[in-house]
Amino acid sequence: MQVPAQFEYERASSVDDAIALLERHGEEARLIAGGHSLLPLMKLRLASPEVLVDINDLTDLQRIWVESDQLRIGAMVRHADLLASAVVGEHYRILHDAERVIADPVVRNRGTIGGSLCHADPAEDLSAALAAIRAEVVIKSSSGERVVPVRELCIGPFETVVGPAEIVTEVRLPIRPGTGSAYSKVERRAGDYAVAAAGAVVTLDGDMISEVGLGLAAVGAPRFVASRAEDAVRGRRADDEALGMAAQIAADECEPPTDQRGPSDYKRALAGELVKRALRTAIARCRGEEA
Amino acid sequence: MQVTVKVNGEEYTGEIEPRLLLVHFLRDELGLTGTHWGCDTSNCGVCVVQVDGTPVKSCTMLAAMASGHEVLTVEGLEQNGELDPIQQGFMTEHGLQCGFCTPGMMLTARWLLDANPNPSDAEIREAISGNLCRCTGYENIVRAIHWAADHPRVAEPEEVAAS
């Protein structure tokens, strides 16, 4: 039987209340949202916070809306709600692609967007998808709020720039016309973490790739990004040659770990192939071709 | 700490340790052992219960987090002495062998049918993809859920009047 170490439980009634509780209890306090990453770690005693601050009552963080050319997603939006959201699908198909293969429907009913980002698991799909999108994260503390690019959120496995008395409240995604996106993942079985996964966001200007975002999960890409591959294909024609180039460079720049999901060289080859597939689908969607 | 949880329509107030998981609260504190306890890692789905109408894995939720909320377990599926159609479907279509996954399967299936009264095979299989059957009796489980979809509960007159 897996039992977490003892802790105190507090329930926050607002964002300010959550911040006040974190300040009062210090560095050994943790926020708990869906709990589907934190509780398993606590059961294995890999995490033993002294205080849990439950933020499930913060329903004002459960909104999805469009404001000033941005799609905004509250940090407490559940995976299931992101998958069900029409406005999310309209602007970023990549998020629906990714959500369909994150865990299973019952887990998706609890897990949250903010929780996934803050957990910063190197195999986490949303981190890669939102890195490809170049989303920004709103982080609040008692001294105000700051906006941090998702690409600068994660500073290592399970480590982010979010401070001990800070809370992620929102994710902001730029809405760019002429953009298509897709996510491609290989997993050993339904609901598992990725063996490798890639997300692509492409903006076309005629036949030319004017902007591109490439995210990678589970293959040791720094901050979930294949930045050299992005630089290589930006400004090129959106053709098979560009796809092949992106795949090869992305495969070269990641450092997949060898583990129970496969050896490093296999994952490296897979990462390249998935970059190619995600790019191909993103380009097709950009052109309005169904894919 | 004190929690107050409504389980199957009845309110329970009790003193618990904050670290108590919902599955153990239901089984050990309330004696509702219909909710099973399996992998303990939110993979297998035998501990699925509904919280405010949504299925969740109760091994990965604190009982404290359920305080102030409504929980439905397999014991609460029957109404007025009559089995829920999903329970009848599992009987009629032999949707269980050992029965260990069955409560979780039924609570997930009930949620599916509440949202989508006529699901396809693919929609059923997707919905129960977080509920594992080690007897691998999925064919009959899918049939059982179809059976329940084809035989919805007929609303009782007084329930209609009450709503």
End-to-end CA distance of chain B: 36
Q: Are residues B70 and B90 in the same domain?
A: no
Q: Which two tokens stand for residue A232?
A: 């290589």
Of A159, A259, A161, A279, residue with least CA distance to A219: A259
The Cα B35–Cα B29 span in angstroms is: 12
Which residues of chain A lie closer than 8 angstroms to B108, CB-CB? 105-106
pLDDT attached to residue A291: 66
Q: Above 70 in pLDDT, residue B157?
A: no
Q: What is the mean pLDDT of residues A250-268?
A: 97
pLDDT attached to residue B163: 46
Is A1 touching B (CB cutoff 8 A)?
yes
Q: Where residue B159 falls among pLDDT bands split at 50, 70, 90?
A: low
The answer to pTM > 0.80 is yes
Q: What angle separates helix B138-150 from helix B85-92, to the nearest 10 degrees?
A: 130
Do B38 and B44 contact (CB within 8 A), yes or no? Answer: yes
Indicate whether B158 belongs to any domain: no
CATH code, domain with A224: 3.30.390.50
Whole-number percent of chain A with pLDDT over 70? 99
Q: What angle separates helix B102-115 from helix B138-150, to the nearest 10 degrees?
A: 40
Which residues of chain A lie closer than 8 angstroms to B129, CB-CB? 104-105, 190-191
Is B110 touching A (CB cutoff 8 A)?
no
Given an 8 Å threshold on Cβ–Cβ distance, is B127 in contact with A105? yes
Given an 8 Å threshold on Cβ–Cβ distance, is A1 in contact with B62? no
Which residue, of B53, B74, B95, is where some domain finishes? B74
Q: Which of A8, A52, A106 sits opposite B45 (nearest CB)?
A: A106
Q: Are residues B105 and B142 in the same domain?
A: yes
Annotate A39-70 with three-state secondary structure. Answer: HHHHHCCCCCCCEEEECCCCHHHCCEEEECCE
Q: Are residues B124 and B68 in the same domain?
A: no
pLDDT attached to residue B158: 57
Q: Are residues B6 and B70 in the same domain?
A: yes
Three-state secondary-structure class, residue A38: helix
- List, in order, residues 6 or more apart from A57 with CB less than 8 Å away: A11, A12, A13
Q: Where residue A190 falls among pLDDT bands split at 50, 70, 90?
A: confident
Task: Look at the block and give the residue holding tokens 């939102």.
Answer: A130
Q: Above 80 in pLDDT, residue B155?
A: no
CATH code, domain with B143: 1.10.150.120
Q: Are residues A37 and A143 in the same domain?
A: no
Task: Count, in order, helices (H) and strands (E) of chain B.
Answer: 7, 5
CB pairs under 8 A between A and B: 74
Q: Which amino acid is at B71?
A: V
Q: Which residues pair with A53 in a beta bridge?
A: A10, A31
Q: Are residues B58 and B90 in the same domain?
A: no
Which domain, by its residues, includes B116? Answer: 85-150
Distances (CA, A) of A206 to A200, A209, A236, A286, B152: 18, 8, 11, 10, 53
pLDDT attached to residue A1: 79
pLDDT attached to residue A215: 98
Residue pLDDT, tens place only, A30-89: 999 999 999 999 999 999 999 999 999 999 999 999 998 999 999 999 999 999 999 999
- The rounded mean pLDDT for chain B is 95
Given an 8 Å threshold on Cβ–Cβ distance, is A2 in contact with B40? yes
Which domain, by its residues, includes A73? Answer: 59-174
Between residues A147 and B158, the one the model is more confident about: A147
- The rounded mean pLDDT for chain A is 97
Q: Where residue A26 falls among pLDDT bands split at 50, 70, 90?
A: very high
Which residues of chain B lie closer than 8 angstroms to A7, CB-CB? 18-19
Given an 8 Å threshold on Cβ–Cβ distance, is A32 in contact with B65? yes
Indicate whether B163 belongs to any domain: no
**B123 phi/psi in degrees, rounded to 5:** -65, -35
Q: Which two tokens stand for residue A46?
A: 């890999």
How many domains does chain B contain in total?
2
Q: Are residues A265 and A280 in the same domain?
A: yes
